[in-house]
Amino acid sequence: MSRTVHVLDPAAPGCGLALCDALAILQEDDLLVILGGRDHAASVRRRRVVVDANVPMPLGIPRLASRQLGKVLKRLVTESVQLDPRFSPETFREPIGQVMAWSESALVATLGADHGLPVIGQIAAVSGRPPRIEPWRRDQAIVHPIGPEIGPLLARRGWRIGESRSAADFPMQDVEHRCGRRADRALVRGQWGVRRPEELVVAIAADPPSSAAFSSALTAAATAGVAGRSMTLIADPQSGQTMAASRQLADGEARLSGESVHVVFDERVRDPRFVAPAVDVVVTIDRSDAPPYPPASVLALRAWLACGVPLIASDRRNAASLVEDGVDGRLIPTGDRNALVRVLLRMVDEPSLAVDMGHAAAARHGRGLVSGRPHWFRIRDYDLEGRPSAGMDAANAIAASR
């Protein structure tokens, strides 16, 4: 059984905290190379992931990092060759047999590097503009979409698509349900300036960040304000479009009567474990029935559910693979803002609804991977035709049954 070198670009869509937490559990004796500077490597190490090397990415262009990445991969392969275990069993390690890239940028940099190892891609989300790569290099890797939604997008970009991975294949860090941490709940809500204990706090989450969910939530919150219900929206300041949308709302609030919308920008919303005790529901929806571009990472959505926060999402394949409508969240028709308003108003009027859904979300998603590492995470031989090798699961039974 050979080992794997993982190449991770922490700044890429889908490579956020949820993926790092999963890698911290699954890594074992595998190696990890970070695309980015020392600050990126330090941020990953803070998630208890072992980083073996980092490669700066000049100008943020992955193919420019290929030459340096090739040198690092060759060095790691050379250092992995150990003495015969008959003479030094305590120092023997399995050789490196493949490179696993966790984003399109990591795939481009890895395929352009000179290392001679098979390359496998695992991608949870895509960026708005695909990174540049020579067409013939795309055929040298099999790409596995994480979640059922982004496979067609990757296929249209020219990647060779293998079987999809289920979010259930990735373990979650141990988390404590938000309702059991009342002190944290009061502290964080106080920092946000939440005006009343019964006020509904709605987090806007997406990886990659998108202004669509934020704009729709703003409209829903403003409508609820006219009806006399108050809400607090928590958003990531990373997206400049959300800031612009909030300013437009502030300009229009003078013409509206009723409760004002309270908007807070807090980068901690990227990590549900820090703010989940104070959040009642998380929202990520689309504004139209057109195909989402780009879709949210299924791993990021599952991280909220694992922390006991119910999810309101458009009825897309990613969300439908996670949420059972009415149990641990709500699936609403794509582009139907009125449906979002009705759901949020009901949660304001029935506070126990969000609590019950939160308990169900934590029970369904808050457990780690009990069976250990999935077969595909470290394999002996990989079929470059995209078929699973012996011992690999071709599909996830849990995901297929939903």
Q: How many C-beta atoms lie closer than 10 Å to residue 267's C-beta?
A: 11
Q: Do domains 3-171+369-400 and 178-365 have the same CATH topology?
A: yes
The pLDDT tens digits for 198-250 are 788 998 877 776 666 777 777 777 777 777 777 888 888 776 556 555 555 55
Question: Does the pLDDT value for residue 282 go beyond 50?
Answer: yes
Q: What is the pLDDT of residue 82?
A: 55
Q: What is the pLDDT of residue 385?
A: 43
Query: For the chain, what percent of residues have pLDDT higher than 90?
Result: 26
**Hey, which CATH number is domain 178-365, 3.40.50.10860, 3.30.565.10, 3.30.70.100, 3.40.50.2000?**
3.40.50.2000
Question: Does the pLDDT value for residue 331 go beyond 60?
Answer: yes
Beta-strand pair 329-332/262-265: unpaired
DSSP string, 349-360: H-HHHHHHHHHH
Q: What is the pLDDT of residue 240?
A: 54
Chain-wide mean pLDDT for the chain? 80
How do the domains of the chain map onto residue ranges? 3-171+369-400, 178-365
Which residue(s) pair with 202 in the sheet? Answer: 233, 281
Q: What is the pLDDT of residue 400?
A: 28
**Hey, which CATH number is domain 3-171+369-400, 2.40.128, 3.40.50, 3.30.420, 2.10.25?**
3.40.50
The pLDDT tens digits for 64-80 are 999 999 999 999 888 87
Query: Residue 188: which pLDDT band, with cuts at 50, 70 and 90?
Result: confident
Among the ranges given (25-34, 115-124, 136-145, 231-240), the one the predictor scored with the smallest mean pLDDT: 231-240
Beta-strand pair 281-284/262-265: unpaired
Sign of CA dihedral 339, 284, 239, 61: negative
Question: Does the pLDDT value for residue 379 go beyond 70?
Answer: no
Question: Does the pLDDT value for residue 83 go beyond 50?
Answer: no
Output 151 or 370, whichever has higher pLDDT.
151
Between the CA of residue 208 and those of 143, 204, 299, 301, what are the distances in Å? 19, 12, 11, 11
Question: Does the pLDDT value for residue 308 go beyond 60?
Answer: yes
Question: Does the pLDDT value for residue 186 go beyond 90?
Answer: no
Question: Does the pLDDT value for residue 122 go beyond 80?
Answer: yes
Q: What is the pLDDT of residue 395?
A: 32
Mean pLDDT of the 275-300 span? 80
Question: Does the pLDDT value for residue 339 go beyond 90?
Answer: no
Question: Does the pLDDT value for residue 294 go beyond 70?
Answer: yes
Alpha helices in 4-122 (DSSP H): 17-26, 38-45, 66-80, 104-111
Question: Does the pLDDT value for residue 87 go beyond 60?
Answer: no
Question: Does the pLDDT value for residue 85 go beyond 70?
Answer: no
Please give the DSSP secondary-structure letter assigned to residue 370.
T
Output 274 or 337, whichever has higher pLDDT.
274
Among the ranges given (179-183, 236-240, 382-386), the one the predictor scored with the smallest mean pLDDT: 382-386
Between CA 123 and CA 165 the distance in angstroms is: 9
Query: Residue 96: which pLDDT band, with cuts at 50, 70 and 90?
Result: confident
Which class for 350: exposed (0-12), middle (13-18), buried (19 or more C-beta within 10 A)? exposed
Give the tokens for residue 305: 């559910």
Between the CA of residue 117 and those of 133, 321, 331, what are the distances in Å? 18, 33, 42
Q: What is the pLDDT of residue 209?
A: 67
Q: What is the pLDDT of residue 154?
A: 92
Buried b / exposed e over 306-328, threshold 16 CB at 10 Å, is bbbbbbbbbbbebbbbbbeeeeb
Query: Residue 389: which pLDDT band, with cuts at 50, 70 and 90?
Result: very low
Question: Does the pLDDT value for residue 111 go beyond 90?
Answer: yes
Query: Residue 366: which pLDDT band, with cuts at 50, 70 and 90?
Result: confident
Between CA 65 and CA 48 the distance in angstroms is: 25
Torsion angles phi and psi, residue 345, rounded to 5: -65, -40
Question: Does the pLDDT value for residue 89 go beyond 60?
Answer: no
Question: Does the pLDDT value for residue 397 go beyond 50?
Answer: no
The pLDDT tens digits for 42-52 are 999 988 899 99
Report, in this order, helix, strand and coil percent for the chain, each rounded to 5: 40, 15, 45
